[in-house]
Amino acid sequence: MWELLLEKKKYFYYIAAIAVVYFAIIQMSKGQIHETKNLEYGITFSKKKVQEMNLDWKKAYVAILDDMKIKKIRLSAYWDEVEFNRDVYNWDDLDWQIEEANKRNVQIVLAVGGRLPRWPECHYPDWAKSLGKSSREQEILDYIEKVVSKYKDNKGIAYWQVENEPFLSHFGDCPKLDKKFLDKEIELVRKLDPRPIIITDSGELSLWIPAAKRADIFGTTMYRDTYSKHLERYVHYPIEPGFFHFKKNIAKLFAKPDDWIVIELQAEPWCRLPYQNVPKVEREYTMSKDKFLETIEFARLAGFRTFYLWGAEWWYWEKEANKDPEMWETAKALLSGTEQSNK
């Protein structure tokens, strides 16, 4: 009981400290605008998310590549898919995704690790869930070595991403972060291939420095409207574009990655349930056409040049399942270079 109370007390102090720091950053960043020109956009694609919505993931993927005419994409080598059975690797679906991107000269970020994009964050195969910590970590290293060794000669892969928001381990169904193990993963990928490594972190809930110190390319998330399970309500982050630029300048005092990008720019709803299970009026609390355009404008003023949009599966679902192409066409206008404006 005392241990539980102590943990709660530590958590309270942690949240309080973060709140104080963020209040200071918000106040000091007010009114700051850092407009960037020649912006580059890409998307993240998750086969798992499309399957969750009972749609044909291959059709969705090809439609996104061809209709959106994207030039950058982030894909995930989900451990529970490529090694569903222990020591038995199935590359068919990942091979296909990479080959289709290669055909269209789409630059790829390939994410590896136990923690990767989309819920439940940690995508462990069932056989690995009962392993002890050291055994599981060795299996993760073995899987990473297999993935990188297989694809390191593929010229379409521009970057490796190691884990996803590893310093946000309290979010998702994941074990507590072991920094030493994260460093082992990064060291292994560097040993296997010289391409730059992306390390990602939360834009709103982390301070970036530990992640940026380990990165060749640092990638932040950027969310403005979400659902808080703790508050049991929808929330809007009271921050301005300068917040991110100010945070970057602070982090630069301690870390020197080659570039700073937005790896996950909100372009889909964040609801109390999976968005496909809530009505449209509720989805629009956190994302709609107007909110999308506002988010793009917000991001443009935050001082970054490269953005990976998070929501392509949702645009496709709205178009195919709901016969509502508005978001698809709105995103297409941006990604294909005919950007709309809500000014």
Give the side-chain half-sphere CA count within 13 A for 108: 27
> What is the Cβ-side half-sphere exposure of residue 301, based on CA atoms within 13 angstroms?
15
Q: Is 285 helix (H, G, I), strand (E, B) or coil?
A: coil
Q: Write the CB contacts of 218 (distance below 8 Å, at least 6 apart in sequence).
A: 198, 199, 200, 201, 208, 211, 212, 251, 255, 257, 259, 260, 261
Contact 173, 122 (CB under 8 A): yes
Q: Output the six-digit token pair for 168.
A: 């946000």
Residue-level pLDDT at 342: 39
Residue at 71: amino acid letter: K
CB 283 within 8 A of CB 269: yes
Q: How far apart, in whole angstroms, are the C-alpha atoms of residue 224 and residue 207?
A: 17
SS3 160: strand
pTM of this structure: 0.90
Strand (E) or helix (H) holding 151: helix 133-151
Cβ-contact 143, 149 below 8 angstroms = no
State the residue for tokens 């056409």. Answer: 289
Whether the CB-CB separation of 339 and 300 falls below 8 Å is answered with no
Place of tokens 């992306």: 198
Please tell me the predicted confidence (pLDDT) of residue 77. Answer: 99
Distance, in Å, from the CA atom of 282 to the CA atom of 320, rounded to the nearest integer, reads 19
Residue 336 pLDDT: 87
Angle between helices 92-103 and 57-68 (to 10 degrees): 20
Lookup: tokens for 247: 């945070």
- List of residues 6+ apart from 290 with CB closer than 8 A: 342
Tell me which fold the domain 40-335 belongs to.
TIM Barrel (3.20.20)
Q: Phi and psi for 156 in degrees, rounded to 5?
A: -75, -20
CA distance 180 to 332: 42
Q: Where are the domains of the chain?
A: 40-335
- Name the nearest CA neighbour of 206 among 258, 263, 151: 263
Each of the 343 residues of the chain gets a pLDDT tens digit; together they read 555 445 555 545 545 555 545 454 544 445 455 667 789 999 999 999 999 999 999 999 999 999 999 999 999 999 999 999 999 999 999 999 999 999 999 999 999 999 999 999 999 999 999 999 999 999 999 999 999 999 999 999 999 999 999 999 889 999 999 999 999 999 999 999 999 999 999 999 999 999 999 999 999 999 999 999 999 999 999 999 999 999 999 999 999 999 999 999 999 999 999 999 999 999 999 999 999 999 999 999 999 999 999 999 999 999 999 999 999 999 999 998 755 443 3
Q: CA 248, CA 188: separation in Å to the nearest integer?
A: 27
d(CA 48, CA 210): 29
Q: Which two tokens stand for residue 219?
A: 């990638």
